[in-house]
Amino acid sequence: MAMSKNVRQALGLTGHYSGLILFAIFTTFPFLWALASGLSADASKMYLFPDGFWPHDASFMWFERVFQEMPFLTYTKNSAIMSFFTIIGVVVVSVLAGYPLARMKFPGRGLIFVAIIATMMLPSEVGIVPNFITLKNFGDFGNWIQESLGLGSSWNMREWIGLNSYFGAIIPNFAGAFGIFLMKQAFEAIPQDLIDAARVDGATEMQILWKVMVPVTAPSIAALAIFTLVNAWNDYLWPSIVMNSKEKLPLAVGVFNDLTGPFATSDNILMAAIVMTVVPVLVFFAFTQRYFISGMDGAVK
């Protein structure tokens, strides 16, 4: 007890914040560096430490060049379309499946729930080969429909539901154990009285789900939608396998291909492109942060 209490407290606090700041530097330095390099017209100091971490001869020229050298807006549009429909799909499927698992008693419930949870343990990536073949067959099926209906080849229905389609790039993500589990947990937290009252009033299960359960679990649904948006926006592997025409690529794939491909002309454009891809997600995250924490919280409990 040589030190006074205040000094010890101040030291403790300094240590605490030093730890926090060190971690913060570790998690953000690649993006801070990318931001500084993207803003520097003078590229010569980019790889010097610590000079690389602030802009030299600041300008937005590299950001403008990004729009000229890659179809950035097309990629953004594709990401938006794919994310939007993924959210709809995931929310509908998860809400519908979560309700009976949480609040209805029927034969096979336990087994189905265990099966869904077990999929979390499987290395789902092993499914990419069979899923690739399945989608190829979907495409053939689309083509068959087109031919049976006598439609011209300009319809190109193979690319509506098969490989190289938005549908194919997102459909495997619709039914996920995480979403179903999250909604099941949310529905279980609702008081039984609410459901009983609705049943006494003669409501069908669909009405109970739509008019009672969905409004009450809106925060959980929002959390699920936000999670899904971020995952869909960032999904790289599966779209990179399914999509083969450049004009259908989402940001995560298109930007990566352009940055690592033969068109990568300057490191600074690359850094500017990285910043532009990351920033929309960050802005969105800044506004919805609390849902991430509370959503994960719900899933753990």
Partner 1 sequence: MKNSSSYTTVAYLFLAPALILMGIFTFWPVGYNTYLAFHIYDIAEGTARVASAEDGGYFTHFKYIYGEDLFHQALKNSLLYLLVVPCIQLAALVMAKLVNNKLPGMTFFRATYYIPVITAISVAGVAWAFVYKFDGMLNGFLTWITHFVGIHSGFEKVEIDWIGNPDIALYSVMVFTFWKGLGYYMVLYLAGLQAIPAEVEEAAILDGANAWDRFWKITVPMVKPTILLCTLLSTIAAMKAFQEVIVLTKGQSDTYTALFYVYDQAFRNYNFGRAAAAGLVVTFFCMILAVIQFRFFGEKK
Scanning residues 251 to 280, which ones bind partner 1 (CB under 8 A)? 251-253, 255-256, 259-260, 267, 270-271, 274, 277-278
Q: Which CB sits closer to partner 1, 5 or 150? A: 5
Q: Work out how close the CB of 33 gets to partner 1 at its nearest, in angstroms, rounded to a whole number.
A: 6
Q: Work out how close the CB of 183 gets to partner 1 at its nearest, in angstroms, rounded to a whole number.
A: 10
d(CA 242, CA 231): 17
Among 43, 52, 69, 145, binds partner 1 (CB under 8 A): 52
User: Is the four-CA dihedral 281, 285, 288, 291 of positive or negative sign?
Assistant: positive
Residues 6+ apart with CB under 8 A from 245: 164
Query: Is residue 5 part of the contact set for partner 1 (CB under 8 A)?
Result: no
d(CA 129, CA 132): 5
User: Is the four-CA dihedral 34, 40, 43, 47 of positive or negative sign?
Assistant: negative
Q: Work out how close the CB of 156 gets to partner 1 at its nearest, in angstroms, rounded to a whole number.
A: 19
Q: Return the exposure string of 54-71: e unless at least 16 CB atoms fall within 10 Å of the residue's CB, then b.
A: ebbeeeebbbebbeebbe
Q: Which CB sits closer to partner 1, 157 or 226? A: 226
Number of residues that bind partner 1 (CB under 8 A): 93
Q: Work out how close the CB of 60 gets to partner 1 at its nearest, in angstroms, rounded to a whole number.
A: 19
Among 7, 96, 117, 218, binds partner 1 (CB under 8 A): 96
Q: Work out how close the CB of 119 gets to partner 1 at its nearest, in angstroms, rounded to a whole number.
A: 5
d(CA 24, CA 292): 18
One-letter amino acid for residue 77 of the chain? K
Among 175, 203, 212, 222, binds partner 1 (CB under 8 A): 175
d(CA 33, CA 50): 10
For residue 152, what are its two tokens?
Answer: 């011209």
Hey, which residues between 182 and 241 contact partner 1 (CB under 8 A)? 204-206, 209, 230, 233-237, 240-241
Among 74, 134, 185, 207, binds partner 1 (CB under 8 A): 134
Q: Work out how close the CB of 82 gets to partner 1 at its nearest, in angstroms, rounded to a whole number.
A: 13
